[in-house]
Amino acid sequence: MHDSEQEHSGITGCRVTYESTIFYNEANKFSIIVVKTNDPRIPLQACSDRYYGDRMLRFTAVGYELPRTKAVELELDGEWVESKYGYQLQVEQWQEIVPQTADGLLAYLGSGLIKGIGPKTAEDIVATFGPDTLNILDNEPEKLLQIRGITEGKLKDIEESYAESRVLRNLMSLLGPFKITPATALKIYQHFGPACVDILKKCPYDLCQISGFGFKRVDGIVRKTDNRLHSTERIKGAVLYTLEDARSKSGHLFLPSEDLVKETLLLLNAPIPIPEQRVRTEEVQETLQQMILHGAVVAYKQYLYSPRVFGQEDDTARMIAERLANISVAENIESALESVRESLGITLSQKQEQAVRTAFQHGLTIITGSPGTGKTTVLKAIIEVFKNLHPKGKFALMAPTGRASRRMAESTGVDEARTLHSALGLGTGEEVGDGERVRFVDADLVIVDEFSMVDMWLAQQFFKRIGQHTRVVLVGDPNQLPSVGAGNVFYELIHSGMVPVTVLDWIFRQSKDGLIAYNAKFINEGSTKLYYGNALYGRFAVTIKLNELNYLEAAKFYPDKTPYDKVAHYAVFGGSPFVNQALRPTATLRENIVSTILNPVSAVYLYASQLLLSDYSVKINAERIFAVIGNGKKRYSEIEDKLDVKKTGNLAKQMKPLRDLEIISRNYPINKLNDSKKSTFEINDNLLRFYFTFIYKNASALQVLGAEAFYDEYVAPTLADLRAFAVTISVYRFVLGN
């Protein structure tokens, strides 16, 4: 019986069976499915108007990772929502219910949900263990070795798949109100481990430790069902979030206890308008003491760390101390150094010679200096001396970013320099677990340039993977390039007094940098008496290229967004103040894209389609060049063919102004730095890249579909790939100071 006049806001414990799939997104596991049930609570407007012989009710359910198999029953909790596709159940939580019959177990195991178990293996398992099958999988999986075809390796796959699948599904169900994707669920699983469901049931505020789950978001949802403003769990969550926020946004590894208490109170009391109901300082201090006693926070003097970050710093310090304590054999390099001077035709200053000698006297050394002080010359000399002393020895050149590594290879004349992540076998982020096998760098000498950009996590991974007997030379300018993440490692090492440091302080590079190199040195020394040159200074008319705002500057237009969302906005809209002023700070990325760049009457759309292009001479075919690159034709020959300029041979002239302005860049594979045939051209300007990738070639479709439908069909499926590329191009360009 249906009560169509009753307000149906939601439903819990609705038992259903899967019927069919309307839509499924493989990338984010979002599903739209049809289910059937006998539950009389289903609103009439949600039911299919078709007649079915089984007299069961059909309705549409939407959610993430919904099982699309008839092998199990589902128990759904969710909210009824009215969409343009009709009345649907927005699933917030769900639970699998596996039938305990032989047929039910057979259907479940043979459904493909568990890696390593197919239909035939499923038959053998159910025939052997019968109703006890699931208990075997849960508690005694080793008994599956009795089944023909299940080896030790296959059993491991089955165990991992079964455990992870069930945990992730339970996690998705538990965190339904947070609207998480499977990728986020996996990140949570990797952070907390198999016990993640129990951990979060006990204290949902632990989610604040995960990027993307700000305290305000978690607190708002939790307080809907548990409005205990003064609970220990709530205060603990705020403390941990404050520490993580200081690390991710400000680069602080720790906070003084006074600052931590102050910031935590501001966070806790923001949603509490009545002063008498607000959390008191004493409550935070008491909770903090308990967290310290139980190891949830680490106290060092008056400074407080999260355990993970303290572990990184402590581990790195220990490894560096062990390296310094390991007495290295000093090598006599005088003969080799003289030979290198002659072969390279160079004359080294006293400080430069000192830097070279020190590199061969200690296991860990630092070379630092302002721009133009000859760091590259020293590196060339170190490499050549090493090759002279150890003809069969191995050395490795590294840098934090791709551009820095390419520049290092070009300047030293070495065939290959790699990024730290590549050389160390790391992923793109802090993705290495404690149990993973460490891959050591096979080299007798390792040189890392631009080490000032290395944060604490990356420093830990670096020293963990370098052999104790490998000589390490760290190069950089602590006053120039900051670390990407938390921790000013290079600066601290220099000022520790424990690592041999050679400071190059004489300017050699005059012709290229002119007064800039000298004045950079003066500024680093704290001098305000800058050198302005001759009497004609300031009387020349010059053309100056003004760069757009960098990432940190642009992010100030949307200060309350998560770091991930800030990067995503910058990757699409770039650093134009005009464009960023048009964005709504509180809107989602989708909403901002739809209302601006996909709106043909918006100022941002006109800016991308007309105003930007008007800045570039018509003679250089800027619009056509951008269109070809945006359409995926990125090799020089491909662009030539598309523009039909191969016969004239003037493509290089047409592209030169764009390359000079750094609107377009030429990129080479790391292992093919001088191979022009392998190079590709990319659009550096983020907004232009987005416009010519999605809109320019599909303008008619945008007009027909409208902004929202166009976004869903053309932008959403590939936006993640474009965002990843844009982050590489845009954020790293900011890091490098270009």
Model confidence band, residue 452 (pLDDT cutoffs 50, 70, 90) = confident
Q: What is the 3-state secondary structure (H, E, C) of 82-110?
A: EECCEEEEEEEEEEEECCCCHHHHHHHHC
Query: Which pLDDT score is estimated for 433?
Result: 47
Tell me how far the alpha carbon of residue 298 is from its chain's centroid.
Answer: 26
Query: Which pLDDT score is estimated for 34?
Result: 93
Q: How many Cα atoms within 13 Å fall on the side-chain side of residue 479?
A: 12
Query: Which pLDDT score is estimated for 533?
Result: 47
Query: Which pLDDT score is estimated for 536?
Result: 41
Find the mean pLDDT for residues 140-169. 78
Query: Which pLDDT score is estimated for 595?
Result: 87
What pLDDT, in 10s, does the model give residues 291-309?
899 888 888 888 898 888 8
What pLDDT, in 10s, does the model give residues 326-368?
777 888 888 888 888 888 777 777 888 888 888 898 889 998 8
Q: Is the pLDDT of residue 615 over 70?
A: no
If we measure between CA atoms, which residue out of 71, 66, 144 comes closest to residue 108? 71
Radius of gyration of the chain from Cα atoms?
31
In the chain, what percentage of residues exceed pLDDT 70?
Answer: 76
Query: Which pLDDT score is estimated for 474?
Result: 93
Q: What amino acid is encoded at 300 in this protein?
A: Y
DSSP SS3 for 82:
strand
Going by C-beta distance under 8 Å and a sequence separation of 6 or more, which residues neighbour residue 687?
Answer: 572, 573, 574, 576, 579, 597, 604, 607, 608, 612
- Residue 15, both tokens: 């038992």
- Environment class of 300 (CB within 10 Å of its CB; exposed 0-12, middle 13-18, buried 19+): exposed
Residue with tokens 């003679």: 619
Residues paired with residue 364 on neighbouring β-strands, in sequence order:
472
Taking a C-beta distance cutoff of 8 angstroms, is the pair 418, 670 a contact?
yes
Q: Is the pLDDT of residue 54 over 80?
A: yes
What pLDDT, in 10s, does the model give residues 592-608?
888 888 887 677 877 77
Taking a C-beta distance cutoff of 8 angstroms, is the pair 500, 362 a contact?
yes
Query: Which pLDDT score is estimated for 5?
Result: 38
Residues paired with residue 365 on neighbouring β-strands, in sequence order:
473
Going by C-beta distance under 8 Å and a sequence separation of 6 or more, which residues neighbour residue 34?
Answer: 19, 20, 21, 22, 48, 58, 59, 60, 61
Q: What amino acid is encoded at 19 in this protein?
A: E
Residues paired with residue 501 on neighbouring β-strands, in sequence order:
366
DSSP symbol at 505:
-
Distances (CA, A) of 165 to 25, 120, 170: 18, 21, 8
First to last CA, the chain: 68
DSSP symbol at 400:
S
Q: Is the pLDDT of residue 409 over 70?
A: yes
Model confidence band, residue 143 (pLDDT cutoffs 50, 70, 90) = confident
Of residues 333 and 647, more confidence is placed in: 333
Q: Is the pLDDT of residue 589 over 70?
A: yes
